Structure 1
Amino acid sequence: MDVKGRKKDSIEQFIELPQILVDNGLSQLRYMILIEGLSIPDGYEQCPYRSYVWSILCKVPVYPAYKYQQTISKISRNLSPEVYQKIKNDTFRTLMNDKAFHSRVSEDSLMRILAAIATSIPENKVGYVQGLNVLLAPIAYTCYKSEPQAFAILHHLITKQIPLYITPNLDGVHTALSLVDLVLKIIDPVLSEFLDSKFLKAEIYAFPSVLTLCACTPPLKSLIKMWDFLFAYGTHMNLLFVVAQLIRNRSTLLKSLQPMKELRNFPALDENNIIKLSLSFIPELPKDLYDMITRHGFDPSVPKELAIFIKAHKL
């Protein structure tokens, strides 16, 4: 429900001001998100200006409806039946049990956006990978008033920030999973050794959380706040989010005779504690390792650098 005449908070007032120095403005906006967070006014189900904040942080301008319509009009002749069926098989089960999500986002909308993505990705990339529907879900929910903008933000995310996550072999995802193992080993060697003793590498339990930037774990309202932070400070922070969730559940895992059962479904997201814990990891990590974490989603040289790092540090 939209409420007229509401009082705008400091972040909404800030994004409406002209910014002469764009980088300075972005830095201030990031800081405000970290300290204040995006608020939900009385009478609203979610923050009414979040889609604008995400667009600003991603430097994605308002996407014209006519351009989106042009892309949609080409789907029938550019989208193969095989890819269409893949998308169809995924969209109907997107956040199936989330009533708030489905009250805002239709399956048809998800289909259109994903089909548009599949037909507009450069030829050397995979147009659709399983799980992209889950990655779209929080964007579509946040941009429910503008399907073209949801398309534009998702397109930016997977072509600029994490393009290696949608290669044929999902190279960036596998690199991220190796980094999760390494970060856990440094931050919590006891838990890391315990999981190793059960042959539980991140490849086995953390694949969905990495691929979808934690969008596979409810609740959606907490996830969206975590994504405020990801768009502000970098999607690479999702790796630390995954490690934070492991450490928050460490006592249960260490006591469990079958920890994989616990790892199949991570506990409900607690965004504030996950973000705080993730930030506390950064000073504990070697600078060159953290640099690789920041680049792993788009820099294909990271796997080789990581192999050299592991060998040099005997990890």
Structure 2
Amino acid sequence: MGLRAKYETLLGTSNKTERDLRESLRKLRKLILSDGLPELDIWKILLGVYRISISEYMSLVAKRESDVYDKIQNDTFRTLATDERFLEKVEEVTMIRVLNAFAWKAKEFPTSHLLSLRFSYVQGMNVLLAPIIYVMPSELDAFFAFTNFIQNNCPLYVQPSLEGAHCGLKLLDICLATLDPTLHQHLKSKGLSVQTFAMPLVLTFSACVQPLDEVLRLWDFLLAWGVHFNILCIVAQMIMMREDLLADESPGRRLRTFPALRARLCVEMVVHRLLPGIDESLFDQLVRHPYDPEVLFQLELK
């Protein structure tokens, strides 16, 4: 059976109970991990996009320029600016329209169940939109998928204070010290902390690295297994550079630009080598940090 047929069979399975649904999701995640994704709308399913509304999107577009329109325009022209395939497929005006519509939509987000979170456009959202808008079959799909991603997968990452991303940096430092104390100590001895080089990787869930094809494979994994795994993926990329970093008296130069992403190797290292070295308490913090402000509070008390 071909890969597409495997996915179509799995997605066409009738789930009569919650247990059946959990088992189907487990099989879907396992298939994504082992074989990757074909050109199907799996991301929409993983992001919970079961309803789209042309009229809703058009009404948001019709509102014209939001109060963050200038900020959006100042960022979009830089999005994956050296990737020719992305630039050929995705027009800047489309990104501006989707992000501006999101800014209007964000004003409607409920906040009572998520404390007092404030949603709007923040710097870096253009890079988060890039993989989504590249793979979605339409602008309409991209808008609703991006909206769900921001609201449900990483709400703390897009607060004005970037609380989730700063928490992710603290967890990255802890994970590196736990998994490779020698490398962690070497970087520390050179006056390097993860805050000096890793913020773009954390904030964009590694969407800022190249090449785009590998980023899409990595996001297959992150959307299926959880965006919190990005922290361990960054650790994996650093460990792949380990020998060069340990031999370099000025490793900061290497860390400013990570080498080309190898998503499959990165994911395999995370699942089979790094994850077993993370204790339950730390893993719980990793899982919750994109949406639970209590995690940062706990880390700051240490």
The two structures have a TM-score, normalised by structure 2, of 0.91
Name the stretch that deviates more: 19-28 or 108-117.
Answer: 19-28
The whole-number CA distance in structure 2 between the counterparts of 1:275 and 1:173 is 21
1:103–1:13: structure 2 CA closer, same or farther, 3 Å change rule?
farther
1:140-191 CA distance string (max 9 Å, x none): 0001x21111111111111111110111111110000000000000100000
1:74 to 53, 56, 63: 63
1:225 to 217, 228, 252: 217
Structure 2 partner of 1:201 = 193
Q: How big is the alpha-carbon RMSD for the aligned residues of Structure 1 and Structure 2?
A: 1.7
The whole-number CA distance in structure 1 between the counterparts of 2:280 and 2:13 is 36
The whole-number CA distance in structure 2 between the counterparts of 1:237 and 1:94 is 23
2:149 to 148, 157, 167: 157
Structure 1 partner of 2:111 = none
1:121-200, aligned counterparts within 5 Å? 121-122=106-107, 124-143=117-136, 145-200=137-192
The whole-number CA distance in structure 2 between the counterparts of 1:119 and 1:257 is 49
Give aligned pairs, total: 289
Structure 1 partner of 2:244 = 252
Q: Which amino acid aligns with 1:295?
A: R
Structure 1 residue 14 displacement after superposition = 2.5
Structure 2 partner of 1:84 = 69
The whole-number CA distance in structure 2 between the counterparts of 1:216 and 1:271 is 13
Structure 1 partner of 2:84 = 99
Structure 1 residue 128 displacement after superposition = 1.1
1:278-289, aligned counterparts within 5 Å? 278-279=270-271, 280-289=273-282
Q: Which amino acid aligns with 1:114?
A: L
The whole-number CA distance in structure 2 between the counterparts of 1:244 and 1:12 is 32
Structure 1 partner of 2:113 = none
Q: After the TM superposition, list the runs of 4 or more consecutive aligned residues in structure 1 that deviate by more than 3 angstroms.
A: 6-9, 16-21
Structure 1 partner of 2:265 = 273
1:9 to 5, 24, 33: 5
Preserved contact between residue 48 and residue 148 of structure 2 (Cα < 8 Å): no
1:233-272 CA distance string (max 9 Å, x none): 0000000011111110011111112211111110100011
Structure 1 residue 64 displacement after superposition = 2.0
SS in 1 for 2:292: coil
The whole-number CA distance in structure 2 between the counterparts of 1:156 and 1:31 is 23
Structure 1 partner of 2:26 = 27
Preserved contact between residue 62 and residue 149 of structure 1 (Cα < 8 Å): no
1:294 to 281, 287, 290: 287
With a CA cutoff of 8 Å and minimum separation of 6, indicate the structure with the bigger relative contact order.
Answer: 2
Identity between Structure 1 and Structure 2 (%): 38
Q: 5+ unaligned residues in a row in structure 1: which ranges?
A: 1-5, 40-46
Preserved contact between residue 75 and residue 119 of structure 1 (Cα < 8 Å): no
Preserved contact between residue 30 and residue 233 of structure 1 (Cα < 8 Å): yes
Name the stretch that deviates more: 115-124 or 148-157.
Answer: 115-124
Structure 1 residue 17 displacement after superposition = 4.2
The whole-number CA distance in structure 2 between the counterparts of 1:170 and 1:307 is 15
Q: 5+ unaligned residues in a row in structure 2: which ranges?
A: 109-116
SS in 2 for 1:298: coil
Structure 2 partner of 1:211 = 203
Structure 1 partner of 2:98 = 113
